[in-house]
Amino acid sequence: MQKPVLVIKLGSATISKADGSINKIIIKKIADEIAVLSANWRIVLVSSGAVGSGKSSIQNYKGSITERKAAAAVGNPILIQLYHKYFHRHGISVAQALCERHHFSNRLQFLQLKETFTAFWNNNILPVVNENDLVSNIELKFSDNDELATLIAVGFDAATLIVCTSVGGFLDGEKKIIPVIEKIDKNIQGYVQNDKSSLGLGGMLSKLTFTRLATSLGIKVIICGLKKTDFFTSALQGLNGTTFIPQKSNFKARQKWLASGSITLGNIALDAGAAKALANRKSLLTVGIKQVEGNFTSGEVVQLMNDAQEIIGVAKVKLDAKEMRSQIAQKNTVAAHADDIVIF
């Protein structure tokens, strides 16, 4: 039987020192632990830290998007060299895998990515993934590497996604780590919605959105820190950070891929009748649409919301946002075919 897939995402702050440089002691510990875990898992490491590693090479660095791109292009090879140094001792090679959004939105490209990763695992090579920041402009960017790690976990059918953050876990109202969360309900959302610190790049609010998507597709998500020893092993044992229990899921690979494309492009609010029809595997008709948010084009994947503003699924749409808006609640045009709809 094939080993299950484990995706580990490292935020910049978890692997950096106070002065912004990469913490080699942490990288060594990460390599030592992943080397042991790779006996039982096919592992993908998603590592941020390229911008931090490269920014000292940019004169008068102020953090503009162009400076960040340039810093990332200098910094990622530095980061990869460090990983190489510590993984090489265990006989593991590392591969730099720089991804862009279209690698995920185009099914053919995604399948090629999958094939290459399979070749990595068959050759004892660890893929170290980051966004290809150099060519990612604002409109095309992943919102952050939490999104990229989630897309990989969903698309590669991972059993578990570990997201490492300097906060150390998901905090309750008293700022204590909640060890296990069975379901992301309004209560849980409430802990982050009013907390300004959770809103930024890689903040807890977006982590929760991606965690909801991953758990609803059957992936266990652990948000944890790198303070303890045996970071990942203790996380897998429920002894480090917060474990989000996966929901039962029977989705096929294509449906998972469809669902993973849903994260940023747009929202369609449905009336109760349409929500019911979709749950019964019917196509989405424009007559059942109440509101359209975002600027998607035909063929893109958008989120479906019910009356209570909850995300109930995703659909690959046949109309662009403008066409759909012009037909809201009016014509019985097919907005998305039943085969292109996934209800969670």
Binding site for ligand VHF (CB under 6 A): 11-12, 48-52, 72, 130-131, 133, 144-145, 201-202
| Shortest separation between residue 91's beta carbon and ligand VHF, angstroms | 26
Chain residue at closest Cβ approach to ligand VHF: 202
Question: Nearest distance from residue 249's CB to ligand VHF, in Å?
Answer: 26
Closer residue to ligand VHF (CB): 15 or 184: 15
Best CA proximity match to 44, nearest among 103, 77, 3 = 3
Of 49 and 261, CB closest to ligand VHF: 49
Minimum distance from CB of 17 to ligand VHF (Å)? 14
Distance (Å, whole) CA 91 – CA 88: 5
Kindly tell me the sign of the dihedral angle through the C-alpha atoms of 115, 6, 162, 247.
Answer: positive
Dihedral pair phi/psi, residue 32, rounded to 5°: -60, -40
Identify which of residues 22 and 154 has a Cβ nearer to ligand VHF in the complex: 22
* Closer Cβ to ligand VHF, 77 or 218, answer by number: 77
CB of 182 to ligand VHF, least distance (A): 26
* Whole-angstrom distance, CA of residue 149 vs CA of residue 165: 13
Q: How far apart are CA 146 and CA 163, in angstroms?
A: 7
Nearer to ligand VHF, 171 or 289 (CB): 171
**What would the two tokens of residue 317 be?**
């749409």
Instruction: Report the C-alpha gap between 153 and 160 in whole angstroms.
Output: 8
Residue pair 334/284 in contact by the 8 Å Cβ criterion: yes
DSSP class of 16: B
Q: Please state the closest distance from residue 200 (CB atom) to ligand VHF, in A.
A: 8
Identity of the residue, 54 or 313, whose beta carbon is nearer to ligand VHF in the bound complex: 54
Q: Nearer to ligand VHF by C-beta: 222 or 275?
A: 222
54 Cβ neighbours under 8 A, 6+ residues apart? 70, 71, 72, 73, 74, 75, 76, 78
Give the nearest distance from C-beta 259 to ligand VHF in angstroms. 21
Which two three-digit tokens encode residue 327? 């037909």
Strand partners, 160: 6, 220
Output the smallest distance, CB 48 to ligand VHF, in A: 3
